[in-house]
Amino acid sequence: MAIEGADIVKAAAFLGAGLAMGLGAIGPGVGEGMAAAKTCEAIGKNPKEAGLLTRTMLVGQAVSESTGIYSLVVALLLLFVV
Amino acid sequence: MGDLGRIHQLIIPVMGHNITLNLEAIVMTWIVIALLILFGYYSSKNRGMRPGTAQIFGEMIVTKLYGLTEDALDKEKAKKYAPLITALFMFLLLCNWIGMFPHMHEPTKDLNTPLSLGIMGFFIAHYAGIRSKGIKKYLKEYCEPIFIMAPLNIIGEMSKIVSISFRLFGNIMGGSIIILVVSYLVYSLVLPPLLIAFFGIFVGAIQAFVFTMLTVVYISVQVK
Amino acid sequence: MINDVQTWVSVAAYTGAGLAMGLGAIGAAIGEGYTAAQANFAVSRNTKLSGDVFKSMLVGQAIAESASIFALVIAVLMLFYKMPDATMIKAASLLGAGFCMGFGAIGSGIGSGLPGGQACIGLARQPSIGNRLTTNMLIGSAVCQTPAIFSMVVALMLIFIDFSKAPLFPTWAAVIGAGLSTGLAAIGSGMGGGFAAGASCEGVARQPETAGPVTTTMLVGQAVAQTPSIFGLLISFVLMFKAFPESTTFAASAGLLAAGISTGFGGIGPGVGNGMAAEGAVRWVARSVENAGGLMRIMLVGQAVSQSTAIYAMVVSLCLIFVV
């Protein structure tokens, strides 16, 4: 089979999308897990403030997830736009 | 093995467009709805101070989920949203468990079911947010920390729909495929009942609960 | 140089066997080392109990070893099983099976070492509850093996299923992608399950009367931490069983390979993170058992949110397989 330039570019875009999302998912996953673990500890110590702690956890996780969302955006751009 | 991932579809051509119906999912959803209505009818038929089995069961589910909603929202809002949350949980639980019976399939195995429930939860949460905060404050939250971040904040909100619905779909679909493939490999000996106990009963119940809890949490984040 | 198909199948079989055993040995060795280190520490604390601690250490190590025994089985099978269908796809799928089993055994090996070590320390602290502690350790580390078992199932399917009727392009990439997807995703889930099991052994040793809620929380936490590896398995099955049309472009193959890589790597972080969340919840259920319900709820919400990146990875993989 003949390999053309455009074909190589497309293949690289697909591989790039896979790598971007795959590797980009590692950090947020671990980080959000840490947040959840510490929230469990905090609720164990101070169960009365469960509502406040849950909200704080969710906001923190949403922020640390933003890099994962950037990866998703880049991956989708590589798949459908480039 | 041949019918792995095959979907029974009915395609109706209407004026140049094809309307595709997933018959299996529709029929199973209606069976689940019928079972829930029957349960609701029987558990509230002979209400009294000395409750029957069905009434105890119904009261248990309703009080538990009311409690959960009250913990996340406050008492006033719980009255408004708890019926929705209770119905959502019971529907999802029955959907995930109905696949245990022969010739039955989980409606949640079809991506359309979780996706539509996820979109429903998304709109309810944002409607609740606008109602309680006012449109100005609601829109202002998208511009945090600076207004350039608004598109990414919107994508972040949208991706909640993807994550909540694909979580349910992936778990149920993955579980049913694992059961199918492993049953085929071991000639349906010994292992399938254990796998059904794990993926059907245990994972099904946990995922129904997670979906419901996340819907409550999304509402509570928007409201406060 | 003779480049016939049989040669390539043999090359792939031997390379795959090497990868399976080499990578598969990493995790079990670390896990067993951790168990032995904690056992030494436990013996130094309470020398009278050295016999019991020794027994507990051996049981814990034996379970941590099972992940690498799965890898050994796959490696030996690849070395000596005579493939009935020698095609280039078989060569690719043998390589995929090697990756799958090798990576898949790492997480479970490390993970199931943690409860063993904590059980040894707990035994030195509370010798009277040895039986309950051992039961808890056995349940916890058996659940940690689930991702390794998923990888073994996928590796066996890659070895034995006859792909010869499928077109070589792009099926070669699909089978390697199938191996990578389950194998890599199993790393995180295996380790995460181990965190939860370790914390539960510690908790049972500290507060024996909370054993019931602690074990329940551990099992629920581990089950949710298994989700990334279930996503990996889902993508693997789709890649193995979907009939791909023949394609002459390199991009079609690269897309399927990338689908496996995306879900595979994407599962590592969320698996570990979910395990950390479960560890925190289990530890604090043991210390304040009256909050068990609230802790379980917050654990589930936290785990669900930290899984979302694994779900995005799965969505990207599904797009790569079905859309582009």
For B154, the closest chain A residue by CA position comes to: A69
Place of tokens 């984040």: B221
Q: Which residue among B71, B159, B221 places its CB closest to the CB of A72?
A: B159
* 3-class state of residue B17 by DSSP: strand
Mean pLDDT of B165-186: 84
Q: Is the dihedral of CA C3, C4, C6, C8 positive or negative?
A: positive
Note whether C277 contacts A21, CB cutoff 8 Å.
Answer: no
ipTM entry: 0.93
Lowest pLDDT segment from B76-80, C35-39, C90-94, C103-107: B76-80
- CA-CA distances (angstroms) from residue C176 to B200, C75, C97, C158, C251? 30, 17, 8, 9, 15
Burial C191-216 (b: 16+ CB within 10 A, else e): bbbbbbbbbbbbbbbebbebbebbbe
Note whether A54 contacts B217, CB cutoff 8 Å.
Answer: yes
Percentage of chain B lying above the pLDDT 90 cut: 27
What are the tens digits of pLDDT across the range C129-147? 888 899 899 989 888 998 9
User: Residue A52 pLDDT > 90, yes or no?
Assistant: no
H or E element, residue B18 = strand B17-22
Residue of A30 and B4 predicted with greater confidence: A30
Q: Could you say which DSSP state residue C49 is in?
A: G
Closest alpha carbon to C238 in B54, B6, B188, B51: B6
User: Residue B3 pLDDT > 60, yes or no?
Assistant: no
End-to-end distance of chain C based on CA atoms, in angstroms? 39
CA angle A64, B116, C321 (to 5 degrees): 70
Give CA–CA dist B196/C36, Å, rounded.
36
pLDDT of residue A11: 92
Do residues C105 and C71 make contact, with C-beta atoms less than 8 angstroms apart?
Answer: yes
Q: Is B159 on the interface with A (CB under 8 A)?
A: yes
Do residues C225 and C303 make contact, with C-beta atoms less than 8 angstroms apart?
Answer: yes
Residue C181 CB: number of other CB atoms within 10 A?
38
Say which amino acid occupies B167: R
What pTM, to 2 d.p., does this model score? Answer: 0.87
pLDDT of residue B6: 56
Query: How far does C121 lie from chain A, in Å, by closest CA?
Result: 22
* 3-class state of residue C242 by DSSP: coil
What are the tens digits of pLDDT across the range C98-113? 999 999 999 999 999 9
What are the tens digits of pLDDT across the range C165-179? 888 888 999 999 999
pLDDT of residue B184: 80
Domains and CATH numbers, chain C: 5-322 (1.20.120.610)
What are the tens digits of pLDDT across the range B52-89? 888 888 899 999 899 888 887 878 888 889 999 999 99
In chain B, what residues touch C231 (CB-CB under 8 Å)? 170, 174
Mean pLDDT of B43-49: 81
Closest alpha carbon to C174 in C191, C158, C186: C158
Reading the block at residue C58, the tokens are: 């051996």
Reading the block at residue C161, the tokens are: 């299923």
What are the tens digits of pLDDT across the range B114-172? 999 999 999 999 999 999 888 998 888 888 777 777 887 888 888 889 888 888 988 88
Note whether B152 contacts A58, CB cutoff 8 Å.
Answer: no
pLDDT of residue B8: 64
- Tell me whether residue C1 is exposed, middle or buried, using C-beta atoms within 10 angstroms of its C-beta: 0 to 12, 13 to 18, 19 or more: exposed
Place of tokens 């005579």: C82
Mean pLDDT of C63-83: 90
Percentage of chain C lying above the pLDDT 90 cut: 63
pLDDT confidence band for C160 (50 / 70 / 90):
confident
Q: Which chains touch B (3 or more CB pairs under 8 A)?
A: A, C
Give CA–CA dist B90/B84, Å, rounded.
10
What does pLDDT average to over chain B?
A: 86
Query: How far does C86 lie from chain A, in Å, by closest CA?
Result: 22
User: Residue B2 pLDDT > 60, yes or no?
Assistant: no
Query: How far does A75 lie from chain B, in Å, by closest CA?
Result: 14
- CA-CA distances (angstroms) from residue C219 to A39, B139, C71, C117, C275? 19, 41, 25, 19, 11
Note whether C312 contacts A23, CB cutoff 8 Å.
Answer: no
User: Residue B50 pLDDT > 90, yes or no?
Assistant: no
pLDDT of residue C3: 66
In chain B, what residues touch C321 (CB-CB under 8 Å)? none
For residue A47, give every residue at least 6 positions away whose Cβ sits within 8 Å of its Cβ, in sequence order, or none. C288, C291, C294
Say which amino acid occupies C91: A
- Tell me whether residue C3 is exposed, middle or buried, using C-beta atoms within 10 angstroms of its C-beta: 0 to 12, 13 to 18, 19 or more: exposed
Do residues C5 and C88 make contact, with C-beta atoms less than 8 angstroms apart?
Answer: yes
Residue C160 CB: number of other CB atoms within 10 A?
14
Mutate to test the interface with B, among C154, C233, C306 (most CBs of B within 10 A): C233
- CA-CA distances (angstroms) from residue C89 to C1, C177, C228? 21, 13, 27
Give CA–CA dist A44/C235, Å, rounded.
38
Residues 100-139 of B with CB under 8 A from A: none
User: Residue C317 pLDDT > 60, yes or no?
Assistant: yes
pLDDT of residue C273: 96
Q: How far is CA B31 from the centre of its chain?
A: 16
H or E element, residue B21 = strand B17-22
User: Residue C2 pLDDT > 60, yes or no?
Assistant: no
Q: Helices (DSSP H) in B22-111: which residue ranges?
A: 23-45, 53-72, 75-97
Mean pLDDT of A26-44: 94
Q: Which residue among A50, A58, A69 places its CB closest to the CB of B159?
A: A69
Note whether C307 contacts B171, CB cutoff 8 Å.
Answer: no
Place of tokens 């690719």: C92
* 3-class state of residue B4 by DSSP: coil
Note whether C262 contacts A18, CB cutoff 8 Å.
Answer: yes
End-to-end distance of chain A based on CA atoms, in angstroms? 24
